[in-house]
Amino acid sequence: MSSIPSVLDPAVPLPRMLLVVAEGRVPAGFPSPADDFAVKRHDLNELLVTHPAATFMWRVSGQSMIEAGIFDGDVIVVNRALTPAHKDIVVAQVDGEFTVKYLYKRADRVKLMPANPTFPTITFREGQQLIIVGVVTAAIKRFRQ
C-alpha cells in the first residue's frame, strides 16, 4: 500500500520554473497567419496550483479514467483544499487502497465511477472505509521524452 504524499510545508517557498508561453492560443484546425507570436513566461505552479500548501502531484497507474483523458503514466495535480462535489474527479482511499475516479454523490448515495466501461463502479457496503484525499484539478501528459 502506498501512502499519501506529504503536503508541502507552506513556510517553504515553491521553486520557480519559468517557461515560455506564446500569447493567444494555437489553432488545432487551420493556422491563422495573422496571429502574432509574442511570448510571455509562466511558472507552472502559478498555472496549476491554487492552494500550494494543499496541492501535490501523483503519477497515475492504470486505465480506468481514459475517457476522462487521464492515462497510465500521466501526472495528476491533486488539491486537498477543495471540497469534493458530485462529478469531480477525486483521489480516494478505499479500505486502504488508493484510486482515481469520478465522485458520484447524490442524497445518501456515494459511489466512485470509472471513466472506462471495462472497469466496475465502486459501491460501498456497510463497514467499508472511504477517504477522499483530494480533487484532481489537472492532468499532465508527456508525449515524448
Mind listing the pLDDT tens digit for each residue in 83-104?
999 999 999 999 989 999 999 9
Mind listing the pLDDT tens digit for each residue in 26-45?
566 665 555 555 566 777 77
Q: Does pLDDT of 18 surpass 50?
A: yes
Q: What is the pTM of this model?
A: 0.75
Please list the active-site residues: 64, 101
The CATH fold assigned to 18-140 is Umud Fragment, subunit A (2.10.109)
Q: Tell me how far apart the terminal alpha carbons of the chain are, to the nearest angstrom.
A: 29
Q: What are the domain boundaries of the chain?
A: 18-140
> Over the chain, what is the mean pLDDT?
81
Tell me the C-alpha distance between 25 and 47, whole Å.
Answer: 15
| Contact predicate 86/105, CB 8 Å | yes
Q: Does pLDDT of 68 surpass 90?
A: yes
